[in-house]
């Protein structure tokens, strides 16, 4: 009898494990369409996340790129590069995972507000976005006076405006608390052009992280940069720079801008790779010589 009961117990254990495995397989299944993605997200995301997204303007969904966007990329894109979902986006000319997750979040936002997805328009914007997501972009853009004349408090107890750098080349480096800051490489680049009519300025982009305030307090101790940094930016300053110099792209921190003597952006550098300092150095030399920048 005991032997019989043991067999029954083993059968029930096997069945329960099979059921759990089936449930896990079902939950891990990658949706095939954007519609399926939206339906799954409406069920799995918290009411707080959905309410926050619903209240967000469409041109501000980049704010969800790290949290919700990262979850989408990890669950459905990075781990399943040959899925129907990924192949759909690639067939539409959207190849970057950030763009794919942005399209899904865009459709979720519109669905929450009882609007049609308007996916074709979003995909067209993302194709333009990918053109501006190249590691190096040589492009002349006018910086609005409202940005140039904003007073910026520095970490050395002084303040400055971008307009104050007119007549000099300015390397403006956008930093982010959760991304690596290559202090050594940045300091070397700054030292190479010291006294040559080239200035460097860092700008720490705001974060909703609970540790952000402490990060700012410890910044000068942990990151000994040889140039000033704006730690407490005026409201929406980073966002205004994004709209003027990056949109429809996404900032890839550190995001660096080369600004000429007439306060115009002439080059943009996304992230900080091995060759980034070398490329920036070459562009600075070309600008100082009055030459056109080479891509």
**Do residues 76 and 83 lie in contact, with contact meaning Cβ atoms separated by under 8 Å?**
yes
Q: What dihedral angle (degrees, nearest 10) is formed by the CA atoms of 223, 228, 230, 232?
A: 70
Which pLDDT value is given to residue 15? 46
Question: Among 252, 35, 28, 264, which Cα is nearest to 136's?
Answer: 252
Distance CA 178, CA 176 (A): 6
Three-state helix/strand/coil letters over 50-117: HHHHHCCCHHHHHHHCCCHHHHHHHHHHHCCCCCHHHHHHHHCCCCCHHHHHHHHHHHHHHHHCCCCC
Confirm or reject CATH 3.40.30.10 for domain 136-288, answering yes or no. Answer: yes
The ranges assigned to domains in the chain are 26-131, 136-288
Distance CA 215, CA 231 (A): 10
Preceding peptide of 124 cis, ω within 30°: no
Which pLDDT value is given to residue 207? 78
Question: Among 166, 150, 247, which Cα is nearest to 203's?
Answer: 150
Beta bridge partners of 138: 267
Q: Look at residue 265 and give its three-state secondary structure.
A: strand
Question: Is residue 222 within a helix (H) or strand (E), and if so which, with residue range?
Answer: helix 219-222
CA atoms within 13 A on the CB side of 191: 8
- The pTM (predicted TM-score) of the whole model is 0.62
φ, ψ of residue 233 to 5 degrees: the values are -75, 150
Assign 3-state DSSP to the chain and report helix, strand, coil percentages, each to 5. Answer: 50, 15, 35
Distance CA 286, CA 284 (A): 5
Rg (CA), the chain: 24
Helices (runs of H) and strands (runs of E) counted in the chain: 13, 8
Here the tokens at position 113 are 């507000």
Q: Residues of 52-74 as b/e, b for ≥16 C-beta within 10 angstroms? A: ebeebeeeebbbbbeebbebbbe
Per-residue pLDDT of the chain (295 residues; tens, 9 = 90+): 545 445 444 444 444 444 443 333 334 578 999 999 999 999 999 999 999 999 999 888 888 887 898 899 999 998 899 999 999 999 998 888 888 999 999 999 999 999 999 999 999 988 877 766 677 888 899 999 999 999 999 999 999 999 999 999 999 999 988 888 999 999 999 999 999 999 999 999 887 777 888 999 999 999 999 999 999 999 889 989 988 988 766 778 899 999 999 999 999 998 888 899 999 999 999 999 999 998 7
Beta bridge partners of 203: 174, 230
**Do residues 73 and 98 lie in contact, with contact meaning Cβ atoms separated by under 8 Å?**
yes
Which pLDDT value is given to residue 53? 94
């Amino acid at each position: 009898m005991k032997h019989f009961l043991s067999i029954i117990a083993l059968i029930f254990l096997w069945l329960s494990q099979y059921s759990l495995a089936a449930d896990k397989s079902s939950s891990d299944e990658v949706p095939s369409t954007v519609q399926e993605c939206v339906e799954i997200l409406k069920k799995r995301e918290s009411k707080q996340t959905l309410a926050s997204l619903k209240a967000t303007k469409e041109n501000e969904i980049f704010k969800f790129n790290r949290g919700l966007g990262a979850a989408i990329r990890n669950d459905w894109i990075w781990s399943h590069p040959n899925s129907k979902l990924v192949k759909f986006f690639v067939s539409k000319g959207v190849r970057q995972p950030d763009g794919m997750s942005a399209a899904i979040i865009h459709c979720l936002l519109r669905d929450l507000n009882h609007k049609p997805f308007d996916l074709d328009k979003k995909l067209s914007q993302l194709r333009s976005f990918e053109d501006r997501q190249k590691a190096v972009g040589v492009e002349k853009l006018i910086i609005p006076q409202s940005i140039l004349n904003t007073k910026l408090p520095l970490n050395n107890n002084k303040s400055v405006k971008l307009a104050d750098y007119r007549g000099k080349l300015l390397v403006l480096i956008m930093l982010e608390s959760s991304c690596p800051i290559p202090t050594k490489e940045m300091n070397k680049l700054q030292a190479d052009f010291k006294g040559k009519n080239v200035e460097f300025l860092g700008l720490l982009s705001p974060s909703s992280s609970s540790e952000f305030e402490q990060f700012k307090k410890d910044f000068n101790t942990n990151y000994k940069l040889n140039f000033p940094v704006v730690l407490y930016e005026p409201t929406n300053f980073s966002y205004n720079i994004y709209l003027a110099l990056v949109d429809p792209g996404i900032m890839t921190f550190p995001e660096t801008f080369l600004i000429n003597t007439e306060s115009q952006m002439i080059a943009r550098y996304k992230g900080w790779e091995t060759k980034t300092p070398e490329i920036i150095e070459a562009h600075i030399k070309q600008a100082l010589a009055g030459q056109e920048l080479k891509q």
